[in-house]
Amino acid sequence: MRSRTQPADSATTRRSALSLLAVTASSWWPASRAQGTNELRIGFQKGAFNLVQLKSLGLLEARMPDTRVGWVEFPAGPQLLEALAVGSVDFGAVGDSPPVFAQAAGKDLFYVGAEPPKPDSSAILVKPDAPSRTLADLKGRRVALQKGSSSHFLLVQAVQKGGLQWADIQPVYLPPADARAAFERGAVDAWAIWDPYYAAAEVAGGLRVLATSRGLTNNNTFYLASRALTQRETVLRTLFAVLTEADAHSQANRKEAAQRFADLAGLGLATVLRVLERRPPSPVGPLTPALLAEQQLVADAFAQLQLIPKPIRVADIVWRPSSAVASR
């Protein structure tokens, strides 16, 4: 029987080390600065379009001129939330699964906001000539994914829809860059991934979309914050406002926004345009009851499969804004 994990070759090891630099970078922000109320450290990923646009436009710095804003990039949500939990960043955006794994591990962090669903922005990819034609065909296959990321829940849902058990597949846990390399060299049979990595692979070619997240998961984006930041309601209100402003600017100036995003994220323009094709308007605000209920279903699915150590109640770590903020 094949092992459920892949041994790392030297190239993979080097790529993993480089990926870890993004996490390590968060610790470069001096601890003494981290305690100041006029400091705000924001973690982001390449896929966090609103945050990348916000950084590029400088809207937050303009709105809060007396606050020192720091920006730290991470390869995926689990790494970002680890930094948030240990106090290296104060705020960041991730998909649906990372907060579930973080809460189950006892991490001290809070849901504070969300964007509308993006059900077309992640997918399960296979090679053009792969024998897998349906989700049921994933049985026995090696599937690359970032553990604890939104692609993890996508794969959980895909396995269920395909009439399979989780034990029927061979998950290979790799960060996005390593997963793509493994997929391209044929070390795995499929790859569960989100934008912009999904879009970049599509533009490069040499793949087939076995399934997108539509009909499987809404691919929700959540904003999380440290316990200390939840006590600074004015700052959170400002963050929601400038993120929504950045999104509106991007919607009104799509070509400019695409080029700006490409330049800042180090992505090709064709990749960014593909991301924008399936990205709806995404204003930011506190969690709605519907989103909270949906996120509880995500947590319950992982608990039922024993992929997290214990069941959790998502509502226990949801920030409760005042009515003034909640009505925005």
Fold classified for 119-212 = D-Maltodextrin-Binding Protein; domain 2 (3.40.190)
pLDDT in tens, the chain (328 residues): 333 433 334 344 333 433 433 333 333 333 333 344 689 999 999 889 999 999 999 999 999 999 999 999 999 999 999 999 999 999 999 999 999 999 999 999 999 999 999 999 999 999 999 999 999 999 999 999 999 999 999 999 999 999 999 999 999 999 999 999 999 999 999 999 999 999 999 999 999 999 999 999 999 999 999 999 999 999 999 999 999 999 999 999 999 999 999 998 889 999 999 999 999 999 999 999 999 999 999 999 999 999 999 999 999 999 998 754 443 3
- 3-class secondary-structure state, position 113: strand
- Show the beta-strand stretches assigned E in 8-129: 39-44, 68-73, 91-94, 110-114, 122-126
Whether the upstream peptide bond of residue 289 has omega within 30° of 0, thus cis, is no
| CA dist 298 → 87, 98, 267, 289 (Å) | 26, 11, 30, 14
| CA dist 45 → 19, 72, 162, 197 (Å) | 12, 9, 30, 11
Domain ranges of the chain: 21-116+219-326, 119-212
d(CA 254, CA 260): 10
**pLDDT at residue 32 in the model:** 33
d(CA 176, CA 198): 10
- Asked whether the beta carbons of 146 and 179 are under 8 A apart, the reply is yes
**pLDDT at residue 197 in the model:** 95
Report the CATH number of the 21-116+219-326 domain. 3.40.190.10
**pLDDT at residue 323 in the model:** 59
Domains 21-116+219-326 and 119-212 share a fold: yes
**pLDDT at residue 47 in the model:** 86
User: pLDDT digits over 123-146, tens only?
Assistant: 999 999 999 999 999 999 999 999
**Encoded tokens for 217:** 């998961």
